[in-house]
Amino acid sequence: MKTVNIIPLFVIIPLTAAFLIPLLGRLVKRFSEFAVFLSCAMLLYLSLHARILLNSLTDKILVYKVGGWVPPFGIAMVLDGLSSFMLVTVNLVTFCVAVYSLKYMNKYTDKPKFFTLFSLMLCGMNGVIITGDLFNLFVFLEIASIASYALVAFGTEAEELEASFKYAIMGSVASSFIFIGIAFLYGFTSTLNMADMARVLSFKQNAYLVHFVGVLFLMGFGLKAALVPFHAWLPDAHPSAPASISAMLSGILIKTLGIYALARVFFNIIGSTQNYLSVLMFLGALSMLVGVILALSQWDLKRLLAYHSISQIGYVVLGIGLGTPLGILGGLFHLFNHSVFKSLLFLNSGSIDYALDTRDLRETGGLAKVMPITAKTNLIASMSIAGIPPFNGFFSKLLIIFACVQKGYFGYASCAIIASILTLASFTKVQKFLFSGELKDKFKEVKEAPWSMVISTVCLAIVCLLGGLLLLTSLQSFMGDAADVLLKGTAYAKDVIEAALR
């Protein structure tokens, strides 16, 4: 029974850090940096440990009962293949971003407040992933969202406040839709536990209400994930935040609060029918094309990257929406890859901003001479996102395109290829205007970013380079288990209830 006790630690550790930092951060010098580094390192270790632990079990599921209450009555925390996959992704990126922020946040004042909000956001994301209770999911989602609204406004300049206000209003309306959806489901099934809810829903006949709730959830989670009709906040909010927060937002927040919650609700609770899947595929393909076309004409580096996030989220949703084993595997693999290379790109944009104090592509050029390591990591990330063969982005895009062709959706497959070509064009522009050409005189004195920032970007670049190895059979259970959870659909209920009774 001891092994189960690691599950709540994913929420407890960041919450403790968020509690201690404002108390001691001002009294003890460098306490906030130390606490954040330690908690992120512990979480990374624990998430890898949980992954290995799960591999040793036969049914690949662990349920922690909060307060000892058996699931339909109490809150359950569920660690299954999908949650452990998301935990590893989130905590890997967070660790690198935390190492990066130690130095980068010197640009801003008041580090303790920043790290408090950072830890709270991490706590919210880990909670969303690990919880097995629908209302608890809402609470954690709001913790992560409120922390991210505040972090977007962290610089308190005019643009940042404006973006944060827009994001906060749209995000709160989206949360209201999710809340109403939960209220309807509670009224219909009289339970809040996800597994129990799935079990009760499978007995109900003529559940028209469920389709209505599905639409509410699609609006709510779709806005958090920035799918195309709901994407208006993302290109403002993500560039305005400090670079390390942009990396967190684009890299993992939209995936945890958006894609993961959407997939969990649609596949494991409501049960995925072809209607939902068609809507998801259509929105995915639309996001893919619209995002990349809007990105082409951008000159602000971070804004360009933000539009690419919309486009890449489209790939993930298209893959998951296909509903076939290969499609879901490709979608989840792309989720992992995108969180790695998009956070790397945002961190690099932060390094450039840190050194040059500008991120307008028309003003830069020739930086390869003065910032050689950043140039190389940025090249790796650009090739990954554009889908050039040895890097991880190629394999996931290939899987998604194969899955489309396998199921006979040639239109969606060609959309994916077109979007990939346009992405390549866009990142060729980035590389050309940032790193090649003549170095301007006013940037002659520019130096490479500090070593702690360089280390974290190099780590992420190595993950980009080796990411394709995750498809090897010996490592495939990392994503295979996650895909299995989604493929199982509402049979998830039976597994959780059985595991809870052990």
Interface residues toward another protein, by CB under 8 A: 135, 139, 142, 146, 149-150, 153, 156-159, 161-165, 168-169, 172-173, 176, 179-180, 183, 186-187, 192, 235-236, 240, 297-298, 300, 303
For another protein, give the closer residue by CB, 161 or 465.
161
For another protein, give the closer residue by CB, 151 or 322.
151
Residues 227 and 283 sit within 8 Å (Cβ to Cβ):
yes
Instruction: Tell the smallest beta-carbon distance from residue 165 to another protein (Å).
Output: 5
Instruction: Tell the smallest beta-carbon distance from residue 470 to another protein (Å).
Output: 36
Instruction: Tell the smallest beta-carbon distance from residue 109 to another protein (Å).
Output: 15
For another protein, give the closer residue by CB, 300 or 484.
300
Instruction: Tell the smallest beta-carbon distance from residue 149 to another protein (Å).
Output: 6
Instruction: Tell the smallest beta-carbon distance from residue 144 to another protein (Å).
Output: 12
For another protein, give the closer residue by CB, 172 or 273.
172
Q: Assign residue 204 a region (left: φ > 0; alpha: ψ between -120 and 50; beta: otherwise).
A: beta
Instruction: Tell the smallest beta-carbon distance from residue 447 to another protein (Å).
Output: 31
Nearest in space to 93 (alpha carbons), one of 427, 337, 392, 354: 337
For another protein, give the closer residue by CB, 33 or 160.
160
Taking the C-alpha atoms of residue 406 and residue 403, their distance in angstroms, rounded to an integer, is: 5
Residues 225 and 258 sit within 8 Å (Cβ to Cβ):
yes
**Quick count: other Cβ atoms within 10 Å of Cβ 15?**
19
Taking the C-alpha atoms of residue 429 and residue 442, their distance in angstroms, rounded to an integer, is: 22
Distance of CA 323 to the CA centre of its chain: 20
Instruction: Tell the smallest beta-carbon distance from residue 115 to another protein (Å).
Output: 18
- Contact partners, residue 57, CB within 8 Å, separation at least 6: none
For another protein, give the closer residue by CB, 33 or 142.
142
In the chain, the N- to C-terminal Cα span, in Å, equals 10
Phi, psi of 33 (to 5 degrees): -60, -45
For another protein, give the closer residue by CB, 152 or 316.
152
For another protein, give the closer residue by CB, 242 or 284.
242
Instruction: Tell the smallest beta-carbon distance from residue 44 to another protein (Å).
Output: 29
Instruction: Tell the smallest beta-carbon distance from residue 359 to another protein (Å).
Output: 14
Only one residue has tokens 């690691």, namely 6
Instruction: Tell the smallest beta-carbon distance from residue 167 to another protein (Å).
Output: 10
Q: Which residues pair with 360 in a beta bridge?
A: 300
Instruction: Tell the smallest beta-carbon distance from residue 368 to another protein (Å).
Output: 27
Nearest in space to 111 (alpha carbons), one of 29, 12, 19, 11: 29
Which contacts qualify for 372-377: CB closer than 8 Å, 24 or more apart? 372/448, 373/448, 373/449, 373/454, 373/457, 373/458, 374/348, 374/448, 374/449, 374/454, 374/457, 375/434, 375/435, 376/461, 377/344, 377/348, 377/457, 377/458, 377/460, 377/461
For another protein, give the closer residue by CB, 5 or 176.
176
Phi, psi of 213 (to 5 degrees): -65, -35
- Contact partners, residue 249, CB within 8 Å, separation at least 6: 148, 151, 152, 237, 238, 241
For another protein, give the closer residue by CB, 150 or 405.
150
Q: Which residues pair with 65 in a beta bridge?
A: 76
For another protein, give the closer residue by CB, 28 or 183.
183
